[in-house]
A and B are shown apart, each in its own frame.
Chain A
Amino acid sequence: MGENLLVPLRDGDLKFNHDIADGLLGMVDALRDILGNIESDGSEGTTDYEELSARLSELLAGNPAPSDSQGDSNAEDLNEVEGSLSEDEFSEVVSELNAPESDAESTSRPKRIQATPRPPKKSKKKSSQTEESTAGETEVAEPSGCAAEDEVAESTEVAAEAVVAETADTPAPVVAKTNNQPAEVPAAEASAKTSSGGERSSSLADSTVRIDVEHLNKLMNLVGELVLARNQILQFSSTTEDASVIAASQRLNLITTELQEGVMKTRMQPISNAWSKLPRVVRDLSSSCHKKVEVRMEGADTELDKTILEAIKDPLTHIVRNSVDHGIEAPEVREANGKTPEGTLCLRAFHEGGQVNIEIIDDGGGINVDRVREKAIEKGVVSADHAAGMNDRELTNLILLPGFSTAATVTNVSGRGVGMDVVKTNIERIGGTLDIQSVPGEGTTLRIKIPLTLAIVPALIVTTGEDQYAIPQVSLLELVRLDGDRAKNDIEFIHDARVYRLRGNLLPLVYLDEQLGLRAARQRDDHDENVNIVVLQAEDRQFGLVVDAITDTQEIVVKPLGPHFKGITAYAGTTIMGDGTVALILDILGLAQSGNVLTEHRDRALSEGSGSSSDRQNDLQSMLVVDPGDGSRAAIDLSTVARLEEFGESQIERSGHGEVVQYRGQIMPLIQLDGGYGGGYGESEGEAECRHTVVYSAGERSVGVVVGKIVDIVHDRFEKTDGEMPSRCVIQDRVTEVIDLRNLVCQTYPELIGN
């Protein structure tokens, strides 16, 4: 009502006078009361504002604004609806009202918003719908909001200014606030606001402060410095005997860690900041494509580092545009296929294992793999034979290749085949991955996995040529060390390329010092004393990076590289080590490319890599050969073995009917291998000093299989003699029983493994 009044005021149709000021201030007070009520007990309060609204109507009566009737009727509609509908239905009505009303007068909107405050106990799904409704409106309502702010804020006491600004600024924050979700305020305003979790005792408006991002970055840097200083002091205090120094440095340690976490947290922002613009994009695009699309958002309060948030904004917009343009079909097509005419686009974000997953799910036509295949062959991306052998998933991922588009015509929205490649590159730049799953006729799911924060990552510190380098642990698979003779013998040559056999697979070796130009390429007869191989994953290839020494793992603070190093692909950034020196962070993808592990033809690597590796696995199998305890031989497929451990007799405890050990914070049951495979071991049980145990892991749980002796690991082609139980084969000229570890464990502990 009050905002209706503001429009003619702004337009100059109405002269600002005392009565109007009174009315407006009264409205502000009323709004504040409502907000206060919602904050304290979650309801709108019982006060009747009939009188106030009547007064406002009177004030307005002299000005027949064209939108008046519309605005009022809208408001009344809504008030009625609010009274009679359940929350779910209500929010649906809100979103429905929003969609067709884009052309309505701006004055009708603020009015409606005023009528929408709702209790805070709502599901996430609905909060996202509110988002949707507010985001669409923010722009429309802005002009009147500005006017309101000026006029109202001027004549209000200072203490209330914040509240007035909030309520009058744009309608969006009003809704957000009344929902008692401070996290949504920055969402609607796209500003760097921190929220203190919204304690009910203090006013929500007072509990947040706007901070310049610059300040935050400065704080981050200072905290980084403090961490370094702390590390130095800790090093120093470890050499001293003085108890008070040690105690003080430990306190410093604790406080610094907490401070660091706290500052890191201030950089975290809900993903709704990046999402807030999407409903508008979808609405505009869908109306221009003559499609009906509903946007749903789940997990809008999932928090991400600000830099990552910025980085995913554009790729997200692009993906969403793609989904609307290509994914969701026209209403007629949808109805013909037995779907609702209105398509659904679901955005979902959630945390998982230190990463943030973002899914963009549409229920459109899915990706037509046949068309992708045709197009791929036509463009010469893959050969026809090759394409025939590719599975749907591989084909689907072809659309990420540069210059690839299945769209028949290029529209102004999409079809140039540039987009998805850029999206993929952008996401990979921030250490994320992109995966597409598509079911023809049912829809497409794009899954983006990105790290929580770019600022601090776990890394492996290696040394080469007296310098330290950091390798992000995301791409790290394992470490292999070859000493002495093995360094000489186990590295083999294919022409000049060095390779190492890692469990039967050839692992190309890349020497870090050669890649960095620190020494000339090794000759064939150059041999290193010891070889440290860091096995890394670059895209879908594995390769071994040979370094001089492996030092440590550490959490490092990533800092960007200066402009002088833009052309060098080998580095991803820099960091400052505990002793204050600067270390370079290696870019694994860049190294793999410069080391020719990855060729330019990403597609080839993609399809061949997966094809050949499975072929190789069929050919060669690695078997762990053990002695069950009676001198016979048994073999276990190495791929089913999680670890080999030795347990002393003292570590083994009895529980119920079996033996257990404490292993990595779990209780791991032990199975005697000889139980099912001949006796003999039982007699010597008491004498064995330590027991060799093959650990089998299924999900979270592990089971240990106790064997007499680990004999060897062999890589070979094994032909099982079928039909016999247990199956046997000949390994190293000896008849060997092949044990299916999974079956064995299942028989003994069916409840552990499940299905």
Chain B
Amino acid sequence: MADKEAYCTFRVDDLYFGVEVRQVQEVIRHQLTTRVPLAPTVVHGLMNLRGQIVTALMLRHRLGLSASEDDSLPMNVVIRTADGPISLLVDEIGDVVQVDRNLFESPPETLQGEQRDLIRGAFKLDDRLLLILDTEKVVHIAA
């Protein structure tokens, strides 16, 4: 087990992402959010998480993807950051998976632009790639 790592996985568009389990505070269903006019488009709104006000970021927008086509409500992956919890809105929640550390590889040089900054690398799973998000960078939005 020493060379295994646990990742909380989720799907955004057709991409399969993972965040270290230790960084995830909780995963909750869709919550009512209050929009914040004038805020960057990435900010979906504010939600009330048991008395704490948590900023919800639309991960699709953050990754430069277009808005979801279907009507299904996004799920919240609440991650811990230096500035308190922040919720990432994702399309679908996956399992918590244990992956072999040896399967990790840095993103290829051909991946350019902002996406490259946000992705630490990928685990080469049998059937697909598990992309690991750099949460620090994802939640940091230049105003």
Contacts and interface: CB of A to CB of B under 8 A. Distances in A.
Contact of B39 (A228, A467, A568, A583): A568
Contacts of B35: 467
A562 B55 contact: yes
A582 B46 contact: yes
B112 to A, nearest CB: 25
Interface string B23-67: 000000000111111111011011110111111010000000000
Contacts of B47: 582
Interface in A570-601: 570-571, 574, 576, 580-584
A562 B143 contact: no
B57 to A, nearest CB: 8
Given A576-B53, A580-B48, A567 B143 contact: yes
Contacts of A740: none
B3 interface: no
A516 B38 contact: yes
Contacts of A559: 52-53
B32 A562 contact: no
Contacts of B33: 582
**Dominant secondary structure of chain A at its interface with chain B:** mixed
Interface string B65-105: 00000000000000000011010000000000000000000
A583 B34 contact: yes
Given A517-B38, A583-B34, A224 B51 contact: yes
Given A580-B48, A581-B48, A565 B53 contact: no
B15 interface: no
A576 B51 contact: yes
Contact of A517 (B34, B37, B50, B141): B37
Contact of A516 (B37, B51, B55, B143): B37
A582 B48 contact: yes
B51 A562 contact: no
Interface residues of A, number: 27
Contacts, number: 67
Nearest to A513: B37
Interface string A533-558: 00000000000000000000000000
Name the residue in B37, B40, B42, B50 with the highest tally of chain A Cβ atoms < 10 Å from its Cβ.
Answer: B37
A559 B50 CA distance: 13
A517 B36 CA distance: 10
Contacts of A224: 51
Contacts of B51: 221-222, 224-225, 228, 576
A581 B34 contact: yes
A518 interface: yes
Contact of A564 (B32, B34, B39): B39
A754 interface: no
A564 B37 contact: no
Interface in A84-122: none
Nearest to B55: A562
A699 interface: no
Interface in A510-543: 516-518
A566 interface: yes
27 contacts: A222-B51, A224-B51, A225-B51, A228-B51, A467-B34, A517-B37, A562-B46, A562-B54, A562-B84, A563-B83, A564-B39, A564-B40, A564-B42, A564-B43, A564-B57, A565-B36, A565-B55, A568-B38, A568-B39, A571-B36, A576-B51, A580-B48, A581-B34, A582-B48, A582-B53, A583-B34, A584-B36
Identify the 10 closest CB pairs spanning chains A and B, nearest first: A516-B37, A567-B143, A225-B51, A582-B34, A562-B55, A582-B46, A563-B83, A574-B53, A224-B51, A221-B51
Interface of B: 32-40, 42-43, 45-48, 50-55, 57, 83-84, 86, 141, 143
